[in-house]
Amino acid sequence: MSTSETPCPNTATTQEACAQIPNAVWVPTANGGSCHCCNTNGTTYRDPSDPTSPCKLCPSNSLCGTGDGFCKGSCGSWEWFGFLKCVVEPTTNLNQCQFSISQWKSWLFYGLIVLAIILLIVIIVSVTRSRPKSVVYVSSTQAPSGVTRLQ
């Protein structure tokens, strides 16, 4: 067992039982097979294509996790501001942060900014319309200069 593995439960003696365990992979052997339980602490992902070492450490050269979903990490604040999403690059099989118009976090962020601006405009307009207009009153005892008061 490698450092990227954790002991499997005693019930993981069949392929079906192994499939029920998060981040576990069944490796066929001459006498049937064995279940390999990869760590679920966000540092390991399972690779069923490699029977000699099915639990791989998450790549350190990647900002975001693997396609299996058990590597922690993300594209950081760019998920909120820059429409970036963690995707697996098909040619290199490495995970990269790429522009994605479907990144919901960015839409939420910018949508809230637009709503805040609209709310601010509504508040400003309602406050300025509700203010009484200034009216200049002329006292009955005083007449404006140049105007004679009739008695």
Clarify whether residues 52 and 4 are in a common domain.
yes
139 is a domain residue:
no
One-letter-per-residue 3-state SS of the chain: CCCCEECCCCCCCCHHHHHCCCCEEEECCCCCCEEEEECCCCEEEECCCCCCCCEEECCCCCCCCCCCCCECCCCCCHHHHCCEEEEECCCCCCEEEEECCCCHHHHHHHHHHHHHHHHHHHHHHHHHHHCCCCCCCCCCCCCCCCCCCCC
19 is a domain residue:
yes
Report pLDDT digits (tens) over 79-119.
Answer: 778 888 777 666 655 667 788 888 888 888 899 999 999 99
Report pLDDT digits (tens) over 23-81.
Answer: 888 888 888 888 988 887 767 778 777 878 888 877 654 555 554 545 655 677 777 78
Domain range for 92 is 73-128
Please state the pTM of the whole predicted model.
0.43
Q: Which residue has the higher pLDDT, 11 or 140?
A: 11
Clarify whether residues 42 and 5 are in a common domain.
yes
96 is a domain residue:
yes
